[in-house]
Amino acid sequence: MFGLSFVKILPIVLKALPVILIGLFVAYLFVQNGNLKSTVAVLEINNEKLTESISKQQDVIDQQTRDIGNVIEANLKLQRVRDQQAEGINELRDKFNKVNAVGKRRDIGELATNSSNSVRRIINIASKNALRCLEISMGAKLTNAETSATKKSEINTLCFDIANPNFTSFN
C-alpha cells in the first residue's frame, strides 16, 4: 500500500517541489533585501559621521598650519632682534677694547684712579643707558624724549637704533 500511494504522490511532489523551492528562494531574497536595506542605512549614517569628522579634522589641521606659520614668523622676528642686539654687543666690545694713540689697550682701572669723578660720571650714564636699552629690548615703550631725539647729545649712544628711531647718524 505504501508503494502504491507513494507512486501516486511522487508526480505531485515533483511538480510542487520547484514551486516550493522558488517560494523559499523568494522568501530568502525578501529577508536578505530587508537586511541589505538596514545595512545600507547604517552605512549611510556612518558615512555622514565620517565625512563630518574629516571636515572637523581638516579644520583643526588648517588651524594648526596657521599657528605654525605664526610661530615661525614670530621666531624670525625674534631672531632678527637677537641678531641686532648681538651686533650691538659686538660694537660695545669694540668700543671698550680700543687701542689708544700709544698702542696700549684701554685700562679703565687706571683711568678711574687718575680721574675718578669723570669715570664715575661716564660709568653712571653708560649704566643708565645700558639698563634703558635692556628695558626697551624687553618691550618697554619709548619716551617722548627718546622718539624726538635727533642730536647726538640727546640720544642713548649704546642702542640708538632701537631707543632713538628718529636719529639718523653720528655726523
**pLDDT tens sequence across 40-52:** 888 999 999 999 9
Q: What is the pLDDT of residue 68?
A: 96
Q: What is the pLDDT of residue 53?
A: 94
In terms of phi and psi (left: phi > 0; alpha: psi -120 to 50; beta: otherwise), the region of 136 is alpha
Q: What is the pLDDT of residue 170?
A: 61
d(CA 6, CA 3) in angstroms, rounded, equals: 5
d(CA 102, CA 110) in angstroms, rounded, equals: 15
The 8-class DSSP code of residue 99 comes to B
Q: What is the pLDDT of residue 58?
A: 96
